[in-house]
Copies of this chain bind each other. A is one copy, B any other.
Amino acid sequence: MKEDIPMYIDQPIRHFMDKLASKSPEPGGGSVAALTGALGAGLVSMVGSLTLGKEKYKDVQPQIEQLLKESEKLRSEMQDLIQKDTEAYGALSGVYKMPKNTDEEKAARTAKMQEALKIACQVPFEIGLKSLEIAKLAQRAADIGNIGAVSDAGVAVLLAQACAQSAALNVKINVNSIKDEAYNKATWTRMQDVLKQVAALEKTVMETTYKKMG
């Protein structure tokens, strides 16, 4: 299955867009959430890159190096998650096609389905957790980064928030079909906590951004 799905990251943006707009169910909202998060991390890296080695910001160089290291790691992970969401969806679609003629087949299909649903849920859950990390980095970028790029730190936190909320929607879809109530409760509670933290960071970073822009 994995071999059939193209690596979107290595294809033209136009191709991703056209496929997204088509009736093909993938790429869908989960992949778009990851791409949005990757764009947010990329903007944090941009603010970092525009601060690195600048005399005016010499006092924060070690922090900027650390920021860049973290934002580039998150960007890479988010870029991978674009594909992982598509793969998890592909695996789930495969299970939907399993035979269900006999009780045995039905039981096997149900078990596999629950397994595939948890994987499909885990991907947007991870995207959500990482969006919180990106929002935290956006705050640091707005606080100590090149003031000339502060609006980019602002856009980064807005994307982190859209990413978190989009990830939550995709967690919710799967949770609705998963029968493991303890898993559902733990996952959804954590997701809600992430949304709350990201929303608070968004508010703070936007205030900083508008204030610094003057």
Identify the closest chain B residue to A72 (Cβ): B21
Q: Are A151 and B165 in contact (CB under 8 A)?
A: no
Q: How far is the CA of A155 from the CA of B173 in the complex (A)?
A: 12
Chain B residue numbers with a CB within 8 Å of A29 are 43, 151-152, 154-155
Chain B residue numbers with a CB within 8 Å of A210 are 169, 172
Q: Are B173 and A166 in contact (CB under 8 A)?
A: no
Known pairs A158-B166, A210-B172; A39 contacts B50 (CB<8 A): no
Q: How far is the CA of A182 from the CA of B34 in the complex (A)?
A: 40
Q: Are A11 and B10 in contact (CB under 8 A)?
A: no
Residues of A contacting B: mostly: helix
- Copy number in the complex reads 2
Stretch at the interface among A12-20, A98-106, A111-119: A12-20
Decide yes or no whether A22 CB sits under 8 A from chain B.
yes
Q: Are A21 and B33 in contact (CB under 8 A)?
A: no
Q: Are A46 and B22 in contact (CB under 8 A)?
A: yes
Q: Which of B25, B28, B79 contacts A17 (CB 8 A)?
A: B79
Q: How far is the CA of A213 from the CA of B158 in the complex (A)?
A: 25
Q: Are A23 and B10 in contact (CB under 8 A)?
A: no
Residue interface bits A143-186, CB-to-B below 8 A is 1, else 0: 00000010110110011011001100110110010000000000
Identify the closest chain B residue to A175 (Cβ): B213
20 A-B residue pairings within 8 Å (CB atoms): A9-B12, A10-B14, A12-B13, A13-B13, A17-B39, A20-B39, A20-B46, A21-B72, A21-B75, A22-B46, A22-B49, A23-B52, A25-B149, A28-B46, A29-B155, A36-B159, A151-B170, A154-B166, A154-B169, A158-B165
